[in-house]
Structure 1
Amino acid sequence: MNLTFVTNKISGRGGTETVLVKVLNNLAKNGNSIRLVLSNLTPNKEWLHNLDPSIKIVYPKNSDKFNRLLYFLRIFLTSAKNTNYVILSPNIIKLFAKLRNLTHKKCKLISWFHFSIANQHDYDPKNIIFADYHLAISSQIKKQMMDLGIEEQRIFLIFNPAEHHKLLNLKANDGQKHLLYVGRVQKNGQKNLKELLHAMKLVDSSIVLDVYGGGKDEEECKRLCKELEISNHVKWHGWTENVWDTLSNQPFALILTSKFEGLPMVFLEGMSRGIPCISANFDGYNDVIKDHLNGMFYSLGNVEECASKINEMAQAKFEPVNVQKSISKFYEEQYFNNLHNVLKKVINY
């Protein structure tokens, strides 16, 4: 297969990049011709070094709107006739669909979104319908696509791939109970750390929150910790290349208080190591969270319930092997077998 993957704007340090590296490398190593077209030159480029050398990487030289339009026009018009596109941006899907109509190229346009369609303000969701087929990473995203009028037979639920890992088994050597957050530091937006920090005000004094990640809201979040008088119970570790090799204390749980997610890769990374998770009940959370088997959930916006679940998890005894097994449908061997079959199917339609 000759496949060009076109990204939305990405930072270089998110879950989308993690999945892209895994998927593109697998496809390249299985004899497919793969090209990655970036919508922006990502601020953090380290992830690109993890791609298979056979993958061609293309990125814009200029980020202004007019030059980006010329960039995408050139990408489409100069591509080989047998190129098919897997696109992460709704706006680019609409552009490529219009160009296909003008040029009469017989290529396939396949959407592959890594975020909830219902909670975005950067594009018109109806642009998604211009794709021929759709790869959905969560049940909720599939439902959102169907709500837009897309036929179910054009949507393929593939989830995201998880690697097998050994159980994490560290000693909590400081006498405290460690709750783990891994992700972008964002106070009021998608990641909703304000809610988590307010919950920390209410939890047992033995619980410490370890925050791994960076973002423009970090100082504001630290100020909030001072206002809430919880600075001694929140540790800021910054962004780390590999969190799991950096941890010195065993977390009793990993938490997300997000307002929305696509399919949270950090949950899969944690559960594959036997770590249970706490989640806000954002749309699609239950693709991963199985209550009291591999974690717990609370009602988004309910700080008291969030704190209660944190306290409950700190005392609960989860069986790490069962947590690992609970995400069997996401492990790579099953994921890639399904992905290869789906791509061959839609390209040959």
Structure 2
Amino acid sequence: MKKNICFFNKDLEIGGVERQLYYLVNGLNKTKYDIMLLLCKKEGAFSDKISNSIGVQDLRASYSHSNKIIIAIKLFLFLLKNRPDIFVSFHVHLNIISIIACKLLSVKVFICFPGYCPRSRLSRLRRYFYTRADKLISVSMGVKASVVNNLHIPDSRKNIVIENCVDIREIRERSKEDIRSPFLDGDRFIIVSVGRLSAEKNFEVLIRASRLLPPDCLILFIGDGERREYLENLAAECGSGNRIKFLGFQLNPYKFIKKASVYVLSSNSEGLPTVVLEAMSLGVPCICSDYYGRTNDVIEHNVTGYIFPRDNHCELANAIKFFRDKKNREKRKTIVENSKRHVVNYSIEKYAQRYERVFGGS
């Protein structure tokens, strides 16, 4: 008999969490599971990519903090009617209301942690609810450690890790799209960094590192956010305005990553940064900060990439210059080959199989 699995998220807009959800629901074995996808609001670019075999339900209540009570009531009524075998909350801001609703109706509830969990004044309250979930699923060992240490949740068998995945075939295919940009012409050392222009991404450290780089280096920031104007002003203050380009949101970032000489992730905290895995799949060497959440989950220093001390722009500049130096071509080639072998472990097939093992043993 098939198990009924329901996944819950706020929407299907383009984002890391939404992409993983899209991969998972499409990748699960439909002969074993009847899959439902419950959304606060059915909207977003991934909506049209969900398999027709998956029942998509819309609560018709756009997610916001002020809307949480309405969402909670509609969620309770949905569960009262449908009663899935397992309910999976895929968004951190929906976790608590998911636990409350499921426990009231004796529905098994699995909670996903897509990113690093910091300490807060509400840690004890969060611990009270999270210890009542049936499974706690972290995207990396570093995230799991933050759940255990910062939320004071015992490290038990219900506290597990399922790492994110990447669609290697799709990434490589989309990276072939042509780019017509005059600043990409010529022999330049191109540094690419992708992400929302927000404080936790710490793009400042890469901008400050630009002052120490040779003039042939070009930095491309792909993404948008509330700190764009601040970062543009900082680039101008550093005298790097002509060597730093802010390209905004790009529907296809892979064509730019493919052109990169090196990819940089400068974040203060991460869950499991799939963009690094995507860059690896395209044969681009990666430089990552030792972010909160444990960089070693995705990169082995000097083997599959390079790790620099968080917020240290001098060490970041040195790492970039290492990959730029022609004397290090063989080392660069070895790192690229190692990383391309490493990224195969993060396929959609393996990702879905890991979830299926958890569902089967629940």
TM range (shorter): 0.7 to 0.9
1:180 and 2:179 equivalent?
A: no
In the alignment, which residue of structure 1 is the partner of 2:270? 261
- Structure 1 unaligned segments of length 5 or more: list them: none
- Structure 2 unaligned segments of length 5 or more: list them: none
TM-score, scaled relative to structure 1: 0.86
User: Does the CA contact (< 8 Å) of 1:156 and 1:342 recur in 2?
Assistant: no
- 2:276 corresponds to which letter in structure 1? F
C-alpha distance after superposition, 1:270-297 (max 9, x if no partner): 1112212111101321111111222101
User: Does the CA contact (< 8 Å) of 1:90 and 1:125 recur in 2?
Assistant: no
In the alignment, which residue of structure 1 is the partner of 2:157? 153
C-alpha distance after superposition, 1:292-325 (max 9, x if no partner): 2221011112121111112112224323332200
Matches within 5 A, 1:108-187: 108-118=108-118, 125-126=126-127, 127-147=129-149, 148-165=152-169, 166=172, 173-186=185-198
Question: Aligned partners of 1:62 and 1:266: how far apart in 2?
Answer: 27
Moved more, 87-96 or 148-157: 87-96
C-alpha distance after superposition, 1:34-75 (max 9, x if no partner): 333335676xx2122222233304244355656431222222
- 1:295 corresponds to which letter in structure 2? G
How far 1:157 moved relative to its partner?
1.6
User: Does the CA contact (< 8 Å) of 1:257 and 1:279 recur in 2?
Assistant: yes
Q: Report the secondary structure of 1:130's partner residue.
A: coil
C-alpha distance after superposition, 1:5-59 (max 9, x if no partner): 223x6782321121111011112755533333335676xx212222223330424
Moved more, 123-132 or 315-324: 123-132
Question: Aligned partners of 1:199 and 1:41: how far apart in 2?
Answer: 42
How far 1:176 moved relative to its partner?
0.8
In the alignment, which residue of structure 2 is the partner of 1:32? 33
RMSD of equivalent CA atoms: 2.8
In the alignment, which residue of structure 2 is the partner of 1:107? 107
Residues 125 and 274 of structure 1, relative CA distance in 2, 3 Å threshold: farther
User: Does the CA contact (< 8 Å) of 2:91 and 2:114 recur in 1?
Assistant: no
- 1:129 corresponds to which letter in structure 2? T
- 2:34 corresponds to which letter in structure 1? S
Question: Aligned partners of 1:174 and 1:304: how far apart in 2?
Answer: 27
Residues 29 and 182 of structure 1, relative CA distance in 2, 3 Å threshold: farther
In the alignment, which residue of structure 2 is the partner of 1:329? 345
For 1:250, which of 249, 259, 266 is the aligned residue?
Answer: 259
Residues 290 and 225 of structure 1, relative CA distance in 2, 3 Å threshold: same
Matches within 5 A, 1:214-233: 214-233=224-243
User: Does the CA contact (< 8 Å) of 1:177 and 1:207 recur in 2?
Assistant: yes
Question: Aligned partners of 1:122 and 1:312: how far apart in 2?
Answer: 44
How far 1:217 moved relative to its partner?
1.7
How far 1:254 moved relative to its partner?
0.9
TM-score, scaled relative to structure 2: 0.83
- 1:328 corresponds to which letter in structure 2? V
1:48 and 2:47 equivalent?
A: yes
Q: Report the secondary structure of 2:271's partner residue.
A: coil
In the alignment, which residue of structure 2 is the partner of 1:294? 304
- 2:187 corresponds to which letter in structure 1? G
Question: Aligned partners of 1:270 and 1:121: how far apart in 2?
Answer: 37
Moved more, 282-291 or 166-175: 166-175
Q: Report the secondary structure of 1:305's partner residue.
A: helix
User: Does the CA contact (< 8 Å) of 1:93 and 1:109 recur in 2?
Assistant: no
- How many residues are matched? 338
Residues 224 and 10 of structure 1, relative CA distance in 2, 3 Å threshold: farther
In the alignment, which residue of structure 2 is the partner of 1:314? 324
How far 1:153 moved relative to its partner?
0.9
Q: Report the secondary structure of 1:140's partner residue.
A: helix
Residues 203 and 10 of structure 1, relative CA distance in 2, 3 Å threshold: farther
How far 1:197 moved relative to its partner?
0.8
Q: Report the secondary structure of 1:324's partner residue.
A: helix
1:276 and 2:275 equivalent?
A: no
User: Does the CA contact (< 8 Å) of 1:62 and 1:68 recur in 2?
Assistant: no
Q: Report the secondary structure of 2:284's partner residue.
A: coil
Question: Aligned partners of 1:64 and 1:326: how far apart in 2?
Answer: 38
In the alignment, which residue of structure 1 is the partner of 2:244? 234
Question: Aligned partners of 1:88 and 1:121: how far apart in 2?
Answer: 23
- 1:343 corresponds to which letter in structure 2? F
